[in-house]
Amino acid sequence: MADTNVTISKGLEGIYIADTKLCKIDGTNGKLWYRGYPIEALADSSNYEEVAFLLLHGHLPTKSEYEIFVKKLVDEREVPDAIEEIVAEFSGRTHPNDILRTCVSVLSSYDTDMEDKSVEANEERAIKLIAKMPTIVAMIGRYRQGKPVIRPLAKLSHTANFLYMLTGREPDKEAAKLIDLMFILHAEHGSNASTFSTLVTGSTLADVYASVVAGISTLRGPLHGGADEAALKMMRAIGEPDNTEKYIEDALAGKQRIMGFGHRVYKAYDPRAKIVYNYLKIFMKKTTDPSVEKLLEIAIRAEKLMEEKLSKTKGIWPNIDFFSGPLYTGIDVPSDLFTPVFASARVVGWCAHLFEYWQNNRLFRPLDNYTGELDVKYVPIDRR
What is the reported pTM? 0.93
Q: How far is CA 156 from CA 160, 165, 178, 343, in A?
A: 6, 11, 15, 21
**Is the residue at 312 inside a domain?**
yes
57 in active site? no
Domain, as residue range, for 262:
227-330
Whether residue 59 sits in one domain with residue 119 = yes
95 in active site? no
Whether residue 208 sits in one domain with residue 348 = yes
**Helix and strand element counts for the chain (H, E):** 17, 3
Q: What stretches of the chain adopt beta strand conformation (E)?
A: 23-26, 31-34, 37-38
**Is the residue at 367 inside a domain?**
no
Whether residue 240 sits in one domain with residue 323 = yes
Whether residue 61 sits in one domain with residue 75 = yes
For strand 31-34 and strand 37-38, is the pairing parallel, antiparallel, or unpaired? antiparallel
**Is the residue at 237 inside a domain?**
yes
Whether residue 324 sits in one domain with residue 340 = no
Whether residue 284 sits in one domain with residue 200 = no
Q: How many domains does the chain have?
A: 2
Whether residue 348 sits in one domain with residue 309 = no
Starting from the edge strand earliest in sequence, which strands make up the sheet with 31-34, in order?
23-26, 31-34, 37-38
Whether residue 102 sits in one domain with residue 184 = yes
Whether residue 326 sits in one domain with residue 307 = yes
Domain with residue 340: its CATH number is 1.10.580.10
- Which residue among 263, 270, 368, 382 is the active-site one? 263
- Per-residue pLDDT of the chain (384 residues), as tens digits, is 556 789 899 989 889 999 999 999 998 899 999 999 999 999 999 999 999 999 999 999 999 999 999 999 999 999 999 999 999 999 989 999 999 999 999 999 999 999 999 999 999 999 999 999 999 999 999 999 999 999 999 999 999 999 999 999 999 998 999 999 999 999 999 999 999 999 999 999 999 999 999 999 999 877 777 778 888 888 999 999 999 999 888 888 887 777 777 777 777 788 998 898 888 778 777 777 888 888 888 888 888 888 877 766 777 788 888 888 888 998 999 999 999 999 999 999 999 999 999 999 999 999 999 999 999 999 999 999
Domain with residue 234: its CATH number is 1.10.230.10
Whether residue 113 sits in one domain with residue 154 = yes
Q: Assess contact for 301 and 239: CB atoms under 8 A.
A: no
- Which residue among 207, 270, 321, 353 is the active-site one? 321
